[in-house]
Structure 1
Amino acid sequence: MENNKKWYLLFFLGCVWGSSFLLMKLGLKGVNPIQMGSLRILFAAAFLVVVGFKHIAKIPLHKWKYIALTSMFGTFLPVYLFATALSKIDGSVSSILNSLTPLFALIFGILFFKVDVQRRQIFGVVIGFVGCILLILFGEGENTTENYYYALLVVLASVFYGINVNLIKKYLSDLKPLTISTGNFLIMLFPALMILYFSGFFEIATEPKVITSLGYIAILGIVGTGFSNILFFKLIQLSSPVFASSVTYLIPVVAILLGYFVMDETLSFVQGIGALVVLLGVYFSSRK
């Protein structure tokens, strides 16, 4: 039963997070990347504080340092990195680069968390990075080489995700997922609010396009961030950091389909090859 549950969670999260790239693109039509990142955190924080307030007292004092670290690596830094990247490159490319997360989870697991490794997994890491290079350097339209810096922001976010899943597995597995998520967003609430205030958001908040964007960002924050974080932490506890981060197998499929049919996004031929290489690398690095 537990084995089936982890697969259900994996599939659901793949669909939700695959849709998140479309929501981010739509949200950016009314606000800038810094504003969208802050709003995403604030919507998620409001949801989690309401549903999980009683769980805050269940966090032992010595665990708060790990709650702070996972909030930084798992959400706070990545939301701004993704928002900035998606202002310049397609969601389909971003979602594929995000598939590097299991590779980074494996690398940091080996280096700092004493995770056992097989030669096949090392091979997966290498070919995954080859695919990453193809994706970054051979784009068309918005995904051109001139925007490679923005693609690297997604890679950096994937690095942070890889660190995060290892931290949760090692130091927070004894806490309930709702407890971890509520603690995370309680820490991020004030910094995100301050960043939003100084971004100039409140001067434009009543503009029609901003109000429209707020609807997309609210869904992104509440469902795609707050609720999904709870499920993701549960998935990590049920499985392993590498299995949980392999949700990034499914994310590109959903993101590419939505990007193609809704946003008219396309991949160059070489990028298509790169996408397959990345997913092949993730497969070799994460399968049993």
Structure 2
Amino acid sequence: MSANHCSALPALPLARPINRDWLTPVELGLLGAIWGASFLFMRVAAPEFGSVALVEVRLALGALALIPFAWRVRRQIPSAIWPRLAAIGAINSAVPFVLFAWAAQRAPAAIGAICNATTVLFAALVAFAVYGEKMGARRALALLVGFAGVVVLATSRSAGAGNLLAVVAATSAALLYGIGANMVRRYLTDLPPVAVAAGTLSMSALLLLPLAFAAWPAHAIPLAAWLSAGTLGMLCTGFAFLLYYRLIQRNGASRAATATYLVPLFAAAWAWLLLGEAITVPMLIAGALILGSVAISLRSKH
């Protein structure tokens, strides 16, 4: 078709920009559902694999899912940054993943998910205590309320033998997440987010490999455990990281962090529906306190 013929065509009205306001809440809900399901998959797989071996599978599969995306920006990753990626990967992925998997063998899925919600509070506390960021009265109140929820959860006897050790492990993992979040924000902001995710997961998998080899179970691992571990790595780690960073890039970190509200709700719902785990009164009280405190903390940033 000639240029003259093209100019003879009637002018078409300009297309209206597509309104994608609906996409963010859908993706936040999807991320909450996926991360909530991770605690279900840990409950199924951790007793068969053990915590260290399960996390090795999770890290390796999560890294494999992200490497094709990170490969496109590989030239933006300086070789000198890999030791830092390894250190942050250990703090932000390997050790907390192991702690959550260890807790999943001893307490209902909702316990770990509720403790995970304190990550936002620990991130604020570390920023104040270590990096000198200001903390107003509102955020200080949020910390007190959130940690009161942890105390309620730790002192309840709803799981029979008690949740204390599982709550300590899961809360320690959330503390490491809070430290890792501050380190990523201060030392890795020049790197593309997908490169940070793929790099930290890859280095974590390499660091944990000798321990996982030594701790690999001698018995045959059931298919259900393998499927749970695979889904935990590819979906709940690899794909979820991509979705999370997509939300951060489009809406900012504060709004993306609101997925934190949904994780305990979905974790409890999945475990109730698929594993028959009870939702107890202490869980509800602790969840309300912690999620309320997270809401206060996030709102105080604006």
- Structure 1 pair 176/165, CA: closer, same or farther in 2 (3 Å)? same
Output the amino acid matched with 2:184.
I
How far is the alpha carbon of 1:192 from its aligned partner?
A: 2.9
Determine the C-alpha separation between the residues in 2 that align with 1:88 and 1:125. 26
How far is the alpha carbon of 1:151 from its aligned partner?
A: 1.3
**Pick from 70, 84, 87: which aligns with 2:88?**
70
Output the amino acid matched with 1:97.
C
Q: Which has the higher helix share?
A: 1
Matched, 1:40 2:58: yes
- Structure 1 pair 255/138, CA: closer, same or farther in 2 (3 Å)? same
Contact 1:259 1:265 in 2 (8 A): yes
Contact 2:149 2:287 in 1 (8 A): yes
Determine the C-alpha separation between the residues in 2 that align with 1:112 and 1:4. 38
Which TM-score applies when normalising by structure 2?
A: 0.83
Deviations 1:93-140 (A, max 9, x none): 111111111100111122233434321111011011111100110131
Deviations 1:122-161 (A, max 9, x none): 101101111110011013135x43x411211000010011
Paired residue for 2:167? 151
Output the amino acid matched with 2:193.
P
Paired residue for 2:103? 85
44-53 or 3-12: bigger deviation: 3-12
Counterparts of 1:132-147 in structure 2, within 5 Å, are: 132-142=150-160, 144-145=161-162, 147=163
Output the amino acid matched with 2:280.
S
Provide the identity percentage. Answer: 23
Paired residue for 1:189? 205
- Structure 1 pair 53/192, CA: closer, same or farther in 2 (3 Å)? farther
Where structure 1 has 5 or more consecutive residues not aligned to the other structure, the ranges are: none
38-47 or 51-60: bigger deviation: 51-60
How far is the alpha carbon of 1:23 from its aligned partner?
A: 1.0
- Structure 1 pair 57/198, CA: closer, same or farther in 2 (3 Å)? farther
Give the superposed CA RMSD.
2.5
Which TM-score applies when normalising by structure 1?
A: 0.87
218-227 or 229-238: bigger deviation: 229-238
How far is the alpha carbon of 1:194 from its aligned partner?
A: 2.0
Contact 1:128 1:277 in 2 (8 A): yes
Counterparts of 1:113-132 in structure 2, within 5 Å, are: 113-132=131-150
Rg (Cα) greater in structure: 2
How far is the alpha carbon of 1:19 from its aligned partner?
A: 0.9
Q: In structure 2, the residue corresponding to 1:30 is in which secondary structure?
A: helix
Q: In structure 2, the residue corresponding to 1:88 is in which secondary structure?
A: coil
Contact 2:58 2:232 in 1 (8 A): yes
- Structure 1 pair 234/223, CA: closer, same or farther in 2 (3 Å)? same
Aligned residue pairs total 282
Contact 2:37 2:266 in 1 (8 A): yes
Paired residue for 1:221? 233
- Structure 1 pair 118/7, CA: closer, same or farther in 2 (3 Å)? farther
Matched, 1:15 2:39: no
Determine the C-alpha separation between the residues in 2 that align with 1:270 and 1:183. 39
Determine the C-alpha separation between the residues in 2 that align with 1:271 and 1:188. 32
Determine the C-alpha separation between the residues in 1 that align with 2:265 and 2:200. 29
Deviations 1:203-226 (A, max 9, x none): 43xx3x433311111111011112
**Pick from 58, 67, 70: which aligns with 1:52?**
70
Q: In structure 2, the residue corresponding to 1:267 is in which secondary structure?
A: coil
Contact 2:43 2:109 in 1 (8 A): yes
Paired residue for 2:3? none
